[in-house]
């Protein structure tokens, strides 16, 4: 029997012993294994044919390639430098990194240097003194069951989530500046149109007033002409107010007042943006910062479950100290005054009124919430891209149709004015044609704006071109 028992001691360790050694050295993790949930959306965009075979992900171009107008690029660069929302997002990253460092520090012992001294009267004729100097190892939890490691993993996921939040703010900021700049371009176009229309109507009113004084035009013609002039003045005031509001909005986005030279109207604002490719819905998981942020939050919630599970197991801590002690200051560092102490401790929860179980259930509920938020982020992204694609498919046709309508109304005005000057038509026909031309031209400008803003919305919905600045996840 002794021989059989002694044989294993001369051979390699048993598997159980090896497992125990690994457990003591590296600890274990009770964190659930993370698996990316399936995307709760269709495999292709509505209205588009399903792709044939496997296709490579489509990389979004950086915003510098998407934005072609130099003035708009300058405005976006100013916003990225001075915008306060983006600055807050950057500071949130620093805060998350500090929290991660705190969790990482919990895995290592804390060493303090301490010195104490006391004098105490023990009787009327006796005074005792005690002095100590040494190193103290604060209570250090040995992370056998991965509680601290799980919390560290959750903190790391929050760092990555804050990185993605910054990228989402950047994408939204680029889109907001581009959209507001396009609004200002349209404001200038509508202001020029309204001023021209007002001048035309004032000239028509002058002619009608002249004809009215000569008894050729009626009071109805005069009232109609005055109404059109007043309508044009109302539209002019509205357009000036809208331009001021859009300028204020752009100032807030930039974090400073924009240079007037960067706001001047351009002859072809439709050429300020480049066309962008559209890939598969699965590309959103790679390119959308808000989707990746939601996934990192899901990873953090998953890691917190490991910490909650570890709370059911013993918590082992170690406290130690080493130093010198003496009854006199002069004898602190002499031979015989040195000493040390070691105090390991293991605490196993026996009764906590359900606190640990409630903490575990709370962590599991938080993971379920994070999962729902992740799926909602994917569905929202899918809807935004689908809406932008629907706009791209129809807005171009709408612009063409309204362009044709504006040209037809302009021709009708020319013919009505010709008939009026030849005495064939009344002034009411001319005034009605003027009203229709102004309405058609306004609608055309607004639809062109919608088409250009739809380009911005599609670019933002597809990820915004910040893939080249994605944070490291290792």
Q: How far apart are CA 243 and CA 216, in angstroms?
A: 41
Structure tokens at 350: 């026996």
- Candidates 211, 210, 176; CA nearest to 76 is 176
Residue 180 buriedness (CB in 10 A; 0-12 / 13-18 / 19+)? buried
Domains by residue range for the chain, with CATH? 29-49+61-107+144-313+368-469 (1.20.1600.10), 110-142+316-347 (2.20.200.10)
- The pTM (predicted TM-score) of the whole model is 0.82
Q: How far apart are CA 195 and CA 202, in angstroms?
A: 10
Query: pLDDT tens track of the chain, all 474 residues?
Result: 334 333 333 334 444 344 334 444 445 778 888 888 888 888 888 876 555 555 566 778 888 889 988 999 999 999 999 999 999 999 999 999 999 998 888 888 888 888 887 777 766 667 777 778 878 877 788 888 888 899 999 999 999 999 999 999 999 999 999 999 999 999 999 999 999 999 988 998 998 899 889 888 888 888 988 999 999 999 999 999 999 999 999 999 999 998 888 888 766 666 788 888 887 787 777 788 999 999 999 999 999 999 999 889 888 888 888 888 877 767 777 776 777 888 888 888 888 898 989 999 999 999 999 999 999 999 999 999 999 999 988 999 999 999 999 999 999 999 998 888 887 877 788 888 989 999 999 999 999 999 999 999 999 998 886 544 444 433
């Amino acid at each position: 029997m002794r021989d059989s028992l002694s044989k294993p001691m001369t051979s390699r360790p048993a598997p159980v012993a090896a497992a125990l050694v690994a457990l003591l050295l590296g600890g274990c993790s009770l964190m659930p294994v993370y698996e990316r949930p399936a995307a709760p959306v269709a495999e292709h965009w509505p209205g588009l044919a399903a792709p044939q075979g496997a296709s490579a992900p489509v990389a979004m171009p950086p915003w510098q390639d998407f934005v072609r107008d130099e003035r708009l690029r300058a405005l976006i660069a100013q916003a990225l430098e001075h915008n306060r929302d983006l600055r807050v997002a950057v500071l949130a990253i620093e805060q998350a990194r500090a929290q991660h460092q705190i969790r990482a520090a919990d895995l290592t012992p804390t060493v303090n240097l301490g010195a104490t001294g006391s004098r105490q009267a023990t009787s009327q004729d006796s005074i005792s003194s005690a002095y100590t100097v040494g190193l103290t190892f604060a209570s250090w939890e040995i992370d056998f069951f991965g509680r601290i490691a799980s919390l560290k993993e959750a903190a790391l996921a929050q760092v990555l989530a804050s990185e993605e939040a910054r990228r989402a703010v950047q994408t939204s900021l680029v889109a907001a500046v581009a959209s507001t700049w396009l609004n200002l371009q349209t404001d200038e176009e509508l202001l020029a149109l309204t001023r021209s229309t007002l001048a035309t109507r004032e000239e028509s009113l002058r002619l009608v007033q002249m004809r009215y004084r000569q008894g050729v035009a009626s009071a109805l013609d005069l009232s109609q002409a005055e109404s059109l002039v007043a309508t044009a003045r109302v539209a002019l005031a509205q357009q000036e107010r809208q331009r001021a509001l859009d300028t204020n909005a752009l100032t807030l986005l930039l974090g400073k007042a924009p240079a007037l030279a960067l706001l001047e109207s351009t002859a072809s604002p439709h050429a300020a943006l480049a066309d962008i490719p559209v890939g598969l819905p699965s590309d959103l998981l790679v390119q959308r910062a808000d989707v990746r942020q939601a996934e990192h939050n899901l990873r953090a919630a998953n890691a917190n479950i490991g910490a909650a599970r570890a709370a059911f197991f013993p918590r082992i801590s170690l406290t130690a100290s080493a130093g010198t002690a003496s009854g006199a200051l002069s004898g602190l560092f002499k031979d015989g005054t040195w000493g040390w102490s070691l105090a390991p401790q293991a605490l196993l929860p026996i009764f906590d009124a359900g606190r640990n179980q409630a903490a575990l259930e709370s962590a599991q509920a938080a993971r379920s919430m994070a999962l729902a938020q992740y799926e909602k982020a994917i569905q929202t992204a899918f809807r935004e891209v689908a809406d932008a694609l629907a706009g791209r498919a129809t807005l171009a046709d709408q612009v063409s149709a309204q362009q044709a309508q504006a040209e037809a109304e302009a021709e009708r005005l020319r013919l009505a004015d010709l008939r009026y000057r030849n005495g064939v038509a009344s002034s009411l026909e001319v005034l009605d044609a003027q009203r229709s031309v102004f309405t058609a031209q306004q609608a055309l400008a607004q639809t062109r704006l919608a088409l250009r803003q739809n380009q911005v919305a599609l670019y933002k919905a597809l990820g915004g071109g910040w893939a080249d600045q994605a944070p490291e996840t290792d």
